[in-house]
Amino acid sequence: MDIIIVGCGKVGYALAEVLSSEHNITVIDLSEDKINSITNDCDVMGIVGNGLHTDILDEAKVDKTGIFIAVTNSDEVNILSCLIARKMGARHCVSRVRSPGFGKQIIFMREELGISMMVNPDFNAANEIAKVLRYPEAINIESFAKGQVDLAEIRITSGSILDNIALSQLSRRLRLDVLICAVQRNDELIIPNGSFVLRAGDKIHITASHSAMVKFFRSISAAYREKRVKSVVLIGGGRVAYHLSKQLIEMGVKVKIIEIDEKRCLELSENLNKVNISCADGTDHDLLREERVYDADAVVTLTGIDEENILLSLLAKKNGVKKVVTKVNRMSLIQLSDTLNLDSIVSPKSITVNQILQYVRAKQNSLGNNVTTLYRLVGDRLEAIEFIVRDKKDYVGVPLKKLKIRSGILIASIVRGNELIIPRGDDCLQVNDSVVVVTTSKGFHDLSNIFD
């Protein structure tokens, strides 16, 4: 497929890097240095110029473009370039927007202006943070099959019911239909079998239905209800904090925001009347004690500087805060999270890239690709992929125990209509099943690729 990406910042670069292995990518940016960098590093065509100019879009052959993606730093430029591209023949257009105001116009933009998808990284990051605050023991939670399957990441603590248990005993011990599909032990990433024994300190990825996941967290923690987050302090009052505050208030959570910019504090106080706004320097350790930040059930660090967020999170953990969430965008720093023993890392950049990639793959489905959702986890070392079984293939109707599945791959769940199946050896795949596969390998574009 021919794809044009306007904007070669962090998101544009990441999209071009991933998509260039499967598609013909053209990247447009005003910066010659950025274009030189992306064309040297990836198999893409680069054009130095303005994505709003019709001559530049003509040069990029916008009339032959399957998907046009605008991810510059300006909402207005992204929206306008999509409108121009659509008028010039681009079949589908995706725009990144950050202003909360545009979120109210998504239906109008799609139906009246022809913008297929609008992605708000700050709103989506707030959604991810709200999810992990609902389950304080979870490091991260993803969803598949339109929300029917949850994939949660947790760390096993000493004395946990999961410590020193073989996976073959797990469902019987918990009386729940759940599946441990990946384990991170120190630097080793393992796709486990039934004889694998969990240990304290392991990070595990577990799949289950939403209701089973709730019961799972209750089972592993006798104090589940007491651990529910009732008060949260947000350090940094940007757009993520605004969206997150609104969600937390609806959940009945008490919210305080610490923001250094007085003008921004006034804006927040006008729009969030149920939130306690403190105009102060959130990096001041003495002030954090005065504001009783460490008495909160959870702290979320949302300043614009990754290193600042990491240090503030470490400080909160050191002072006894049970749940800490850290906003980080740089991949090199995200990969430090295990070394520093941070709780939950949320990256608006990664969330945006994943959401756009899912849209691209959905459009590929009409061309024969059956990947509908893909998440990259554990610093891109693990992939969780959702496939749709579209045709009667050799593996359809055959018990899984009779199929030769490649090493480093596990079928984590099967959704058949409204039924979630945690697969066992006697289960079979059927046409129209939604199948979630977890793998340490990359590059799978079809479900048949996982079988020898």
pLDDT higher for 160 or 335? 160
Q: What is the mean pLDDT of residues 234-251?
A: 94
Question: What is the dihedral sign for C-alpha 209, 213, 214, 219?
Answer: positive
pLDDT value of residue 372: 66
Place of tokens 């050191």: 318
Instruction: Judge whether residue 366 has pLDDT over 50.
Output: no
pLDDT category of residue 104 using cuts at 50, 70 and 90: low
- Of the listed ranges 117-131, 192-206, 212-226, 290-304, the least confidently predicted one is 212-226
Strand-strand pairing, 24-29 and 2-6:
parallel
- Of the listed ranges 186-195, 244-253, 358-367, 415-424, the least confidently predicted one is 358-367
Instruction: Judge whether residue 367 has pLDDT over 60.
Output: no
Question: What is the length of the chain?
Answer: 452
Whole-prediction pTM value?
Answer: 0.75
Question: What is the dihedral sign for C-alpha 163, 141, 148, 191?
Answer: negative
Instruction: Judge whether residue 117 has pLDDT over 90.
Output: no
Per-residue CA distances from 139 to 46, 91, 147, 217 (Å): 38, 38, 18, 12
pLDDT value of residue 370: 64
Domains of the chain (ranges, CATH numbers):
2-119 (3.40.50.720), 125-220 (3.30.70.1450), 231-321 (3.40.50.720), 364-450 (3.30.70.1450)
pLDDT value of residue 223: 45
Q: What is the mean pLDDT of residues 109-120?
A: 75
Model pLDDT for residues 25-70, shown as the tens digit of each residue:
999 999 999 999 999 999 999 999 999 999 999 999 999 999 999 9
- Name the residue type at position 243: H
pLDDT higher for 370 or 369? 370
Q: How many helices (H) and strands (E) does the chain have?
A: 16, 22
pLDDT value of residue 193: 85
Provide, rounded to the nearest whole percent, the portion of the chain with pLDDT above 70. 91
pLDDT category of residue 337 using cuts at 50, 70 and 90: low
Given a contact cutoff of 8 angstroms between Cβ atoms, the answer to whether 379 and 400 are in contact is no
Q: What is the mean pLDDT of residues 264-286?
A: 92
Instruction: Judge whether residue 224 has pLDDT over 50.
Output: no
pLDDT value of residue 364: 66
pLDDT category of residue 358 using cuts at 50, 70 and 90: confident
Place of tokens 């996941």: 213
Strand arrangement, sheet containing 434-439:
371-377, 382-388, 434-439, 409-416, 419-421
Which positions ≥6 away from 58 have C-beta within 8 Å?
Answer: 88
pLDDT value of residue 108: 67
Strand-strand pairing, 298-301 and 323-327:
parallel
pLDDT value of residue 179: 87
Mean pLDDT of the residues in the chain: 86
